[in-house]
């Protein structure tokens, strides 16, 4: 995730309250980087993470209400489909920024578009969409929205690491060894 997505209505990123939905590997990496900017970090996950110094919220609505920036970084499951709906968007409010680097189906996209058009949400940074590859045309002309293809991790190093992982998995498969990254 590039922090330059967080431009909307902020003079600076430093010191903002950042809520993260999903404090797994990616969410934790985001939290670490945001903390380096002096941000106050809070999160929502399936369960509280005992080894963090971040504030846990069992309610996503309360997390959104207390955040200036809300970042979605959780896995897509039946429970997380449309985890960000009208109520969550309204709690984030007209000065809040929603960043989705997870999956497009995490957000009720029609509610997101309506909130942006009506001024109920301050802005959004999106690199995934509910009905990919289709992107709602209403988002294209908005000055408070950044749209990018799902390339948040697309660096030379990451691409090389992914290629190495594919080769490693193929070698393991054809040598009848356990896969490095099995699909569960």
Tell me how far apart the alpha carbons of residues 127 and 60 are, in angstroms, rounded to a whole number: 21
**Residue 150: active-site member:** yes
Q: Are residues 53 and 10 in the same domain?
A: yes
Radius of gyration of the chain (CA): 17
Structurally, the chain folds into a number of domains equal to: 2
Examine the domain organization and report whether 12 and 62 are in the same domain: yes
Is there a catalytic annotation at residue 2? no
Tell me which of 95-99, 106-110, 116-120, 159-163 is least confident: 159-163
- pLDDT at residue number 3: 38
Burial zone of 122 (CB within 10 Å; 0-12 exposed, 13-18 middle, 19+ buried): buried
Residues 123 and 172 in one domain: no
65, 82, 120, 150: the catalytic one is: 150
Give the containing element (helix H, strand E) for 38. none
The catalytically annotated residue of 132, 134, 171, 173 is 132
Residues 147 and 56 in one domain: yes
pLDDT at residue 170 tops 80: yes
Split at pLDDT 50, 70, 90, the class of 77 is: very high
Residue 81 annotated to the active site = no
Does one domain contain both 124 and 42? Answer: yes
Q: Do 11 and 88 belong together in one domain?
A: yes
Question: Average pLDDT in the 93-108 region?
Answer: 94
How confident is residue 67, by pLDDT bands cut at 50, 70 and 90?
very high
Domain coverage including residue 141: 3-152
Q: Give the phi and the psi of residue 65 in degrees, each rounded to 5.
A: -60, -35
CATH code assigned at 91: 3.40.50.720
Is the pLDDT at 1 greater than 50, yes or no? no
Catalytic residue among 103, 106, 109, 111: 103
Question: Residue 8 pLDDT > 60, yes or no?
Answer: no
pLDDT in the model for residue 149: 74
**CA distances in angstroms from 10 to 40, 87, 174, listed in the order given:** 15, 23, 52
* 108 lies in the same domain as 174: no
The chain-wide mean pLDDT, for the chain, equals: 89
User: 77 and 14, same structural domain?
Assistant: yes
Specify whether 89 is located in the same domain as 136: yes
Q: What's the pLDDT tens digit per position in 134-169?
A: 889 999 989 899 888 766 667 788 888 889 999 999
The residue with tokens 């058009």 is 117
Whether 135 and 162 share a structural domain: no
Least confident of 2-16, 141-155, 165-179: 2-16
pLDDT for the residue 5: 42
pLDDT at 13: 80
Q: What is the pTM of this model?
A: 0.80
**For the chain, percent helix, then strand, then coil, each to nearest 5?**
35, 15, 50
Q: Give the separation between CA 63 and CA 66, rounded to whole angstroms.
A: 5
Query: Which residue did the predictor score with more confidence, 62 or 147?
Result: 62
My answer on whether 31 and 56 are in the same domain is: yes
29/41 same-domain check:
yes
Decide if pLDDT at 9 tops 60: no
Q: Is the pLDDT of residue 37 over 60?
A: yes
pLDDT at 18 over 70: yes
């Amino acid at each position: 995730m590039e922090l330059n997505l967080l431009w909307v209505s902020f003079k600076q990123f430093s010191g903002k309250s950042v809520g993260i939905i999903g404090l797994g590997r990616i969410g934790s990496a985001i939290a670490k980087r945001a903390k380096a900017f002096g941000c106050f970090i809070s999160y929502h996950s399936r369960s509280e993470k005992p080894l963090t110094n971040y504030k846990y919220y069992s309610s996503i609505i309360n997390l959104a209400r207390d955040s200036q920036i809300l970042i979605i970084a959780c896995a897509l499951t039946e429970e997380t489909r449309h985890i960000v709906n009208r109520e969550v968007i309204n709690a984030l409010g007209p000065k809040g920024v929603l960043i989705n680097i997870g999956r497009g189906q995490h957000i009720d996209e029609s509610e997101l578009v309506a909130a942006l058009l009506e001024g109920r949400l301050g802005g959004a940074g999106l690199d995934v969409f509910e009905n990919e590859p289709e992107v709602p045309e209403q988002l294209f002309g908005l000055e408070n929205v950044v749209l990018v293809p799902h390339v948040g991790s697309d660096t030379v190093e990451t691409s090389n690491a992914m290629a190495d992982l594919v080769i490693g998995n193929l070698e393991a498969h054809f040598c009848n060894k356990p896969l490095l990254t099995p699909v569960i």
